Structure 1
Amino acid sequence: MSSSSMASGTSVSTAYQVHLPLCVLTNNNIADDVQVDVVLDEPTSNSDHNVWTVQVVDVHNNKNTRLWTSPSISSKVPPAVSAKFKKKKGILEVTYTVSHENEKNDDDDDDDDSAAAPTAGAEFELHAEDKNKNQTQIPENRANMDMPHALFRDAPYVRIESAPPPYGRHAVATQDVKVGTEVFSSLPYAAVISDKYADKLCHACFAPLGSTPRLCAGGCAFAAYCSTECAANDAADHKHECTLLAALKAANQAAGSRGLRLFARVLNKRAREPAEAFAAVAALDEGASGSGDEAERARFLGMAGAVNKLVPPASRMDDVAELARLIAKVHNNLHGVSNMRGEQVAHALYPSASFFNHSCWPSCVVGFSGRALRVHCIDPNGVAAGGILSIAYTEVYASEPVRAQNLLEKKGFRCACDRCKSPRDADVSLTAWATGAPVDERREARMREDARNALIHYQRAGGDVDALETCRARTASLLSRLEATFDLHHELCHECRFLLMDLCRDLGRHKDVVRLTRNLASDHDMHLPKYHPTCALTSYREAESCTSLGDKGGSLKAYEGCLSVLKVCYGVDHADVVEVQKRVVDCSE
């Protein structure tokens, strides 16, 4: 255990009780397994201010695994720490003292630190084996990352702070942030084009391939690039992916290879780069499999065995269980790279994005420009200095039970955001029944199943006009039943309305599209943040159909509405913003 001398003068002591994971308690004496360290997080040019954290580390068998990190401590000198180990139930009590003097007293000794009486306290539950206690808003092992300050060194609006659960380590604003400000951007650790767009977009920059794409000459005949420069830039990442794709093609299994291609790139990069470059990926959260879900854990173990057999020997991981955890981390933190039209063109891993806490009513939104992830502030009031910069990990237009289930199943934690703790008044309509309609839970369950089936049928229809028309008729009938049963802004009505809009657009039923988009706009006014990308998409769909109908005034109004949202959530320099701006000008002439 390390401790440091304290400055003289006024000081404040703080005590925390850390409940250690049972897996740490391998010896009779807890002190043999854990160590308490004081770490300088942010050296500064101001000699009167540094940022420190107190950290509890599992040192058994040289693991050096971080178990807990204190909130940030601002002080010129390191906090003095005394630790009391309690064998009963694996409790470690950590007391640290912070001086408020700028002058260091060299006569102070460590014996005084243990005598300081705690004036504040909190408990941290870290039982690794307890599934329910690990399902907080931000899974606790995200706080174990050692590299946050390096990841955000070039992000002037973002600082990473530590806090008790449910927050963990999270992104906060270093200064007042105005609506529309880009607070962060990042390139991916690994990225692959979606199977659907593999022959349409460049596999390196995600731009359209053009009329003369450059195909990989290495054997896979799959990877395609818009230029020789993109082909060269992607060569190292594509190398082992190429071998994998050639093997799959020979076995007639190349279709639907997106997941394998991504893992091949991650493992290839892990094998060829220094360990420090992989640290941010290794520190990601595993989601449901890491919180005790045995079925999820077994699923990822099966995937790990299959991946190890398919990737080249140089990229394989001998420890299949460790590979399974890595696959779970990638799966849990993967981003679908989508454009303004809602088309998911690629999938990418951005480790730094995990520091942005989830909120069901976020202050920021994630967008993409080529390969780059960009985070913009969408709160009309902005975010004050020190405020949390949050993004949404799930659909925002949904009731609390649906959001909670999605987050628990996909991310492995229970949401504790402000909206879930204190629902908005308007949220009542997300689950409300129509006036006079009898509440029938079985009927609601059947309708939810019908809505899921309608989406599946649409996805299977592809470009088959007859299949699309059959699906449209069934979806229109379902929407009529839903609107007669539930509040018009019910989550199922909105879901079905959005699907019907897409079906009508595909079938060229432009009058129906305009009617539906205007109904959706009313939905969004109630249940989406003002500058949410979905609002822009709805306006864009309306503008397209108005143009097809020859309604120039309707097109202009809809494009202007789309543009006002896109400028905030994507930034004025984004390609989609430039495109819509041009359409506004064309409609104005």
Structure 2
Amino acid sequence: MEAVIMERFISEGKGNGLRALREIKPGEVIYSCEPFAFCVARDFLKTACQSCLKRGESLSRCSQCKTARYCNVQCQKQAWPDHKRECKCLKHLQPRIPTDSVRLVARIIFKLLSQSESDQEELYSIAEHQSHLADMSEEKTEGLKHLCTTLQVYLAEENCDLSRLPSGLDPVSLLARVTCNCFSISDGELQDVGVGLYPSMSLLNHDCQPNCIMMFEGKRLTLRAVRVIRSAEELTISYTDILAPSKDRRSQHWDELLKESQALLHRHSDVVPDRNIYMLRLLDLAMDACISLDDYETALEYGNRALGPYKLYFSDPHPSRAVELLRVGKLQHFLGRLEEARGSFTQAYSIMSVTHGAAHALTNQVQRRLSECQAELNTL
């Protein structure tokens, strides 16, 4: 068992928090865990494996609920303990599919009622999570009540005895806790493919210049240091991603999107700099559209324009900048700009070795690309 290098404490002005028990170096793993419960995001139900969260276009579908999908039989068997009860619920509601929060809370309820596992080894239990019900507006409270009604309809097929839930963890309270404390589970390219509850990680407070970053490999969460953290210093993460709207890289009407984004870029480029957050989002969208339409030269132009603002908003080491460098590097490599590609891959690897770790699949991909690029340069 790995030595614990963090502890729970009361952070002045913030309430609960986590702090380091010793000095921690950049790139060092502080904590790693599986979720107490998780589910695939509704937008990815057809393309993400219910077990490992890997994405694919030809996943096998559950023969009963027709909703859950898997890479193979092994993934299906591994997922069955968590899926067997929700399977009936999904089948009962077909073709309707509840929201992510409803499906996640249902999984939490199944787990709490089964008593086969508990979160008592966590630094922070589900019962201790804040629901903030008393602070919610009337509109949000009404929204929770509607979600609770959906949850009850969803659970009807399983005949759950909700009176057996631990004290204080009624459906409305659980929905409120999940809303405040769950995390989006992102893949290597920072797309949010799932949502999960990681009780101890809910203790982390926000900082605009955080000293930690959370990365995922499948559904496993790893907390890493991104700079030197002193002993007794509070561990912090950033709750926000200023470019979140531009991370929606699913299928679009790419011709229309490119036309509209280019028109806006041309109209405002003389008076609004690329570092403007809205211009940067447009550059990202235009780049995506060009890649999808196989116009790689133009895509690279937009990608190169975006790199400067990315460095401004995502100071190193930050995974968002690393992913953007990887995307630009792939375009440079494909177009035969080997020196430029080597530079982009080198920068991406330098960041990812800290944020993702040397063993992460995306870090290994960057390393392979860098080796290929170097081998091609050696033959010239």
Report the TM-score when normalising by structure 1: 0.57
In 2, Cα distance between the equivalents of 1:367 and 1:462?
25
1:322 to 2:111 alignment: no
C-alpha change, 1:316 and 1:557, in structure 2 (3 Å) is: farther
Q: Supply the AA of the counterpart residue of 2:16.
A: R
Q: Is contact 1:180-1:568 (8 Å) kept? A: yes
Aligned residue identity for 1:240: R
Contact 2:102-2:175 at 8 Å conserved across structures:
no
CA contact 1:271–1:314 (8 Å) conserved in 2: no
Determine if contact 2:101/2:175 at 8 Å carries over to the other structure. no
Structure 1 residue 205 and structure 2 residue 52: aligned? yes
Aligned length: 368
Amino acid aligned to 1:538: E
Residue in 2 that maps onto 1:262: 104
Q: Distance in 1 between matches of 2:330 and 2:100?
A: 31
**Could you tell me which residue of structure 2 aligns to residue 310 of structure 1?**
154
**Equivalent residue of 1:567, what SS?**
helix
CA shift for structure 1 position 580: 1.4
- Shift in alpha-carbon separation, 1:215–1:510, aligned structure 2, 3 A: closer
What is the match of residue 113 of structure 2?
271
Tell whether 2:291 aligns with 1:505: yes
The CA deviation at 1:269 is: 0.9
Aligned residue in 2 for 1:516:
302
| Alpha-carbon offset, residue 553 of structure 1 | 2.4
Q: What's the % identity of the aligned pairs? A: 21
The CA distance in 2 between the partners of 1:155 and 1:498, in whole Å, is: 42
Post-superposition CA distance 1:388-407 (Å, at most 9, x none): 11111112579xxxxxxxxx
Counterparts of 1:489 and 1:209, CA distance in 2 = 34
Cα distance change of structure 1 residues 197 and 305 upon mapping to structure 2, 3 Å threshold: closer
TM-score, with length taken from structure 2: 0.87
User: In 2, Cα distance between the equivalents of 1:182 and 1:396?
Assistant: 25
Matched residue, 1:348: 196
- As a proportion of its length, which structure holds more strand? 1
Distance in structure 2 (CA, Å) of the matches to 1:184 and 1:317: 33
- Quick one: distance in 2 between partners of 1:302 and 1:285? 20
- Please name the residue that 1:387 is paired with: 233
Q: Are 2:90 and 1:240 equivalent residues in the alignment? A: no
Q: Are 2:210 and 1:362 aligned?
A: yes
- 8 Å Cα contact 2:274-2:306 kept in structure 1: no
Q: For 2:311, which of 516, 519, 525 is the aligned residue? A: 525
For 2:362 and 2:304, locate their aligned partners in 1 and report how far apart those are by CA, in whole Å.
22
Give the structure 2 partner of residue 173 of structure 1: 20
Q: Give the structure 2 partner of residue 111 of structure 1.
A: none
Give the counterpart of 1:471 among 237, 253, 257. 257
Tell me if the contact between 1:267 and 1:316 (Cα under 8 Å) persists in the aligned partners.
no
The answer (yes or no) to whether the contact 2:101–2:178 under 8 Å persists in 1 is no
Q: In structure 2, what is the Cα distance between the partners aligned to 1:215 and 1:481? A: 47
Long gaps (5+) in structure 1: 1-152, 399-451
Question: Which of 62, 76, 83 matches 1:231?
Answer: 76
User: What SS does structure 2 have at the residue aligned with 1:177?
Assistant: coil
Q: How far has the Cα of 1:232 moved from its partner?
A: 3.0
The 1:551/1:487 distance shift into structure 2, 3 A limit, reads closer
Q: Deviations over 1:104-162 (max 9, x none)?
A: xxxxxxxxxxxxxxxxxxxxxxxxxxxxxxxxxxxxxxxxxxxxxxxxx9553212212
2:122 aligned with 1:280: no
Alignment of 1:107-146 (within 5 A): none
Deviations 1:313-334 (A, max 9, x none): 4436369993122112112222
Residue 356 of structure 1 contacts residue 389 of structure 1 at CA under 8 Å; is this kept in 2? yes
Correspondence for 1:554 = 340
Q: Which of these two proteins has the greater Rg computed from alpha carbons? A: 1
Shift of 1:265: 1.1
1:462 and 2:309 matched = no
Structure 1 CA distance, aligned partners of 2:55 and 2:332?
26
Alpha-carbon distance between aligned partners in 2 of 1:491 and 1:526, rounded to the nearest angstrom? 11
Gaps (5+ residues) in structure 2?
A: 376-380
Distance 2:22 2:338 in 1: 43
Deviation at 1:373, TM superposition (A): 0.5
CA contact (8 A) 2:213 2:223 kept: yes
Q: Give the equivalent residue in structure 1 for 2:36.
A: 189
Deviates more, 1:191-200 or 1:557-566: 191-200
